Amino acid sequence: MSLNLNGLQNEAELIAVTAPRLTLLQSEPKLRMDGNFSPAVVFSVLVLSAVLSSSLALLEPYDLLYDNAVQAFYNSDYENVVRYMEGALSSYAEVRRTKVRCRLRCQDQHPFDETFSDLLFFDVVLRRAACLDKCIEEKIGTQSMHRVSEDVVQDFHRRIPYNYLQLAYQKLKQPDKAAAAAHTYFQANPEHVEMGQDLEQYKDLQGVKREHFVDREARPHQRSFTAAVRLYDMGDYEGALKLFEEALLEYYKADVDCRALCQGPQKFEGHDHLRYRYSLHELVSDHFTQVLHCEHECVRDLATRPGRLSPMENYLPLHYDYLQFAYFKVDRVEEALQCALTYLLFHDGEEFLTDNVDYYSEVLGHDGEPRQEAAWYLRRHKQELELLLIGSKTMGVEFTEGNYWSSTGGRDNSNRIPSGTDGWMEYVPISEKKNVTVAALQQLKEGGPLVYDSVRLVQNSAALNGTQRVLLDHVISEEECTELRHLAHAVTIAGDGYRGRMSPHTPNEKFEGATVLKTLQYGYEGRVPMRSARLFYDTSERARQIVESYFMLNSTLHFSYTHLVCRTAITGQQDHRNDLSHPIHADNCLLDPDANECWKEPPAYTYRDYSALLYLNGDFEGGEFIFTEMDAKTVTASVKPMCGRMVGFSSGGENPHGVKAVTSGQRCAVALWFTLDPLFRELERLQADEVILALDTQSVWGQGLNINPKDEL
């Protein structure tokens, strides 16, 4: 396979304002070296750069500021919450801006030559690396200080800092700023029903105005597009044209930024980028392919709203579709023809736009040309695809092109114009995603024996308004509940199962947990009664047998994960709670409320088939378990926890669920997930089985237990 890269230089110059530096494939003004090039020159440049860049840090790392803000929150020091959290958000934004600016500056300062040799190529690579290090460290300090854990990065992507901020501003009696923070958080977390309700309450507060409800993290291209569609629907075509053009300009700028942030290790699913390769060129190929894949996926990123899984359908082409008709409505047929032709670059031969092109050409008396920035953008996209197919084959990884330009929907066929959608109603899944909610569940049964005489059926699937759901009482006794709660107080650790994050779901509660194997280890060491540790083990097995029997499964149900957990309301932080204890989710797929879908793909635990929660107490406020529709808003059933009560259900998209806020006291339960696939049995459970067997046969005495806790999930 070969690439034709001719003709890009002039076109790149034509779109320098709209889409600067859109690719690494384009030709640019070149830096040439004389024939006396020596590798020592490169080494000297690197040494000099290292000396010049050894400056003190100029910017505090945002993860440190974030941690300080969280600690201040738990200490009820709300002024410092605001100080540190606003600082963290500012630092986070500055790090991203600096990386973009420095990469583009160094790319301009050290362009590739038109003719390549190995030394010339790596000369540019090394000089760019030295330039990048120097540039970044001059702006934000030593780069190692700004290496942040994935957990913190994900918190910022999910806008968790704004949840802390809105609570802090609320405590500080600054409702206008609280409203802005709450609105910003809600845009990326629409499943938080209480947050939406609180936003309505903010509107009635004195001093809070409509303009205070701003999305502080709004992406300019999406904001302009939404505003443009609103004016278009109102018939204000002149105003809409201005905003649509602004949206396109911001889109291409955002594309440049997105691609600049793709530096660093990237990953294809199932491929280890850091594994040793014998060939230098294989290693370079692997890394370049992964970076290129990230850049190629910017199409999807720019079309996806915060907190959503699926991109807006036909996002970029839709701009030109709206524009062609809006220009026609204001009698600017030349521009209408150009935009219609541009749309056809993405959807060649599309019937209605083809008719419009014929009409516009007839009115003008001549043909037209599509916009150059879009033509070049699409040509680069196709060239990248060719390279990705070559690179992924070298890596031994299957690559499938995403369905980026789907044109179904978003159009009123009777008028041959865009449909007047608000711009965010139609979504299309990326190819290779598996929709697990449309396929009917096969041969599902329920109503089997409850195994134990004491267990009582409270509600079945019909009573719980769903599929494969059951609510049972008296699974364990009051005495057993009390003993397991005492065990939980002795063995659970804050953040267990969540990499030590004490409040993984909400800053208003503390989460603690422990596994079966860990409790057995504590029992063997004499730190807790072995009888209590054994009770945890036996209770989870009882729950497994009940679920397997009630749902009349034809094969063995295996443990996937078992967790003794407690959620505790943090005193002083329960006023105006606007979040859930555990957000609405499904256990084996990624819930997408806007698309009304659930995608069975990583990072979801796709191998989980059934779930159960056995409650140990009910002496707390809030904490109801809820089932919802896939919109994550419509509650279909609510369960009030109490000692010995257990809710069991299938783990897929048919059963979205969550937990309401625990506003007072502590809620404890045994959480269980099961799989029908023996390959995904819980390793700790297998080790716990061996410990129990050793205890039962009394072979453990005198030789010690070989217990190796491993509570990563």
Going by C-alpha positions, the residue among 209, 395, 375 that lies closest to residue 285 is: 395
Location of structure tokens 């750069």: 49
Identity (one letter) of the amino acid at 129?
Answer: A
Going by C-alpha positions, the residue among 619, 607, 673, 626 that lies closest to residue 193 is: 626
- Burial class of residue 495 (count of CB atoms within 10 Å of its CB; 0-12, 13-18, 19+): middle
For 279, half-sphere exposure in the C-beta direction (CA atoms, 13 angstrom radius) is 7
Residue 608 bears catalytic tag: no
Asked if residues 637 and 466 have their Cβ atoms less than 8 Å apart, the reply is yes
CA distance 116 to 34: 13
Strands 666-675 and 621-622: unpaired
Q: Can you name the residues that pair with 597 across neighbouring β-strands?
A: 592
371, 667, 681, 685: the catalytic one is 667
- Burial class of residue 449 (count of CB atoms within 10 Å of its CB; 0-12, 13-18, 19+): exposed
> CB atoms < 10 A from the CB of 516, how many?
27
CA distance 528 to 526: 5
Going by C-alpha positions, the residue among 634, 637, 632 that lies closest to residue 593 is: 632
CA distance 360 to 342: 14
DSSP codes joined into one string, 179-226: HHHHHHHHHH-TT-HHHHHHHHHHTTSTT--GGG---TT--HHHHHHH
What is the helix (H) or strand (E) element at residue 252, kind and residue range?
Answer: helix 237-260
Buried residues in 119-158 as b, exposed as e (16+ CB within 10 A)? ebeebbebbbebbbbbbbbebbbbbeebebeeebeebbeb
Q: Which residues contact 557 (CB under 8 A, 6 or more apart)?
A: 544, 547, 548, 609, 610, 674, 675, 676
CA distance 103 to 257: 10
Asked if residues 165 and 181 have their Cβ atoms less than 8 Å apart, the reply is yes
Instruction: Give the residue numbers marked as catalytic.
Output: 667
